Chain A
Amino acid sequence: MTAAAGTVQGSAPGRTGGTVARVVRRNAWTFGLAALLLVLFLVTRAIKPTYGAAELRSLAIGALPIAFAAVGQAIVVISGGIDLSIGSLLALTNVTAAALMAGGSEESAVPVVLFVLFLGLFLGAVNGLLVVASRVPDIIVTLALSFVWAGAALLVLKSPGGGTAQWLKGLIDGTIGSEWIPEALVLLVVSVALVWLPLRRSRLGLSMYAVGSDRLAAFRSGVAVAPTKVAAYAVTGLFAAMGGLSLSMSTGIGTPVPGPYTLLSVAAIVLGGVSLVGGRGGLLGPILAVFVLALIRADLTFLNVDPNFTTVVQGVIMVVVVMVGAFATLRRRTA
Chain B
Amino acid sequence: MLLIAVLWIVEPGLRNPIWASGVIRFAVPLAILAACQTLTMLTGGIDLSVAAVASMAAYIMATQTPAQGPVVAVALGLAATALAGLVNGIGVGVFRVHPLIMTLGMSLIVLGLMTVYQLQMVTSGSIIPESVAWLGGGTSFGFFTNSLLVFVPLAALIVFSLRRVGFGRLLYAVGDNEIAARLSGVRVWQVLVTLYVISGLLAGLAGIIYGAVTRTASVTLVERFLLPSVAAAVIGGTSIFGGRGGYSGTIVGALILTVLTSLLTVLQMPEPVRQILFGAIILVVAAAYTRITDES
Binding site for B on A (CB under 8 A): 84, 130, 134-137, 139-141, 143-148, 150-155, 158, 260, 263, 266-267, 276, 306, 308-316, 318-319, 322-323, 326-327, 329-330
The answer to whether A140 and B227 have CB atoms under 8 Å apart is no
Total A-B residue contacts, Cβ distance less than 8 Å: 132
The answer to whether A318 and B105 have CB atoms under 8 Å apart is yes
The answer to whether A135 and B294 have CB atoms under 8 Å apart is yes
Is B96 an interface residue, CB under 8 A from the partner? yes
A-B pairs with lowest CB-CB distance, top 10:
A311-B112, A154-B272, A151-B275, A315-B108, A147-B279, A312-B112, A315-B109, A308-B115, A151-B276, A148-B279
**Neighbouring A residues of B290 by C-beta, 8 Å:** 134-136
* A141 to B, closest residue via Cβ: B283
Contact with A along B13-50 (1 / 0, CB 8 A): 00000000000000000000000000000000000000
Is B113 an interface residue, CB under 8 A from the partner? yes
Q: Which of B97, B115, B270, B287 contacts A311 (CB 8 A)?
A: B115
Is B102 an interface residue, CB under 8 A from the partner? yes
Complex CA gap A135/B108 in Å reads 29
**Neighbouring A residues of B280 by C-beta, 8 Å:** 144, 148
Complex CA gap A314/B95 in Å reads 19
- Distance in angstroms from A324 CB to nearest chain B CB is 8
The answer to whether B287 and A330 have CB atoms under 8 Å apart is no
**Neighbouring A residues of B278 by C-beta, 8 Å:** 147
**Neighbouring B residues of A152 by C-beta, 8 Å:** 272, 276
The answer to whether A306 and B119 have CB atoms under 8 Å apart is yes
Is B252 an interface residue, CB under 8 A from the partner? no
Is B273 an interface residue, CB under 8 A from the partner? yes
The answer to whether B286 and A312 have CB atoms under 8 Å apart is no
Contact with A along B58-87 (1 / 0, CB 8 A): 000000000000000000000000000000
**Neighbouring A residues of B240 by C-beta, 8 Å:** 136, 140
**Neighbouring A residues of B105 by C-beta, 8 Å:** 263, 267, 315, 318-319, 322
The answer to whether A136 and B119 have CB atoms under 8 Å apart is no
The answer to whether A309 and B275 have CB atoms under 8 Å apart is no
Q: Which of A140, A141, A151, A323 contacts B97 (CB 8 A)?
A: A323
The answer to whether B279 and A151 have CB atoms under 8 Å apart is yes
The answer to whether B96 and A326 have CB atoms under 8 Å apart is yes
- Distance in angstroms from A76 CB to nearest chain B CB is 14
* A308 to B, closest residue via Cβ: B115
The answer to whether B104 and A147 have CB atoms under 8 Å apart is no
**Neighbouring A residues of B115 by C-beta, 8 Å:** 306, 308, 311
The answer to whether A154 and B91 have CB atoms under 8 Å apart is no
Is B215 an interface residue, CB under 8 A from the partner? no
Is B244 an interface residue, CB under 8 A from the partner? no
Tell me the B277-291 residues at the A interface (CB within 8 Å): 277-280, 282-283, 286-287, 290-291
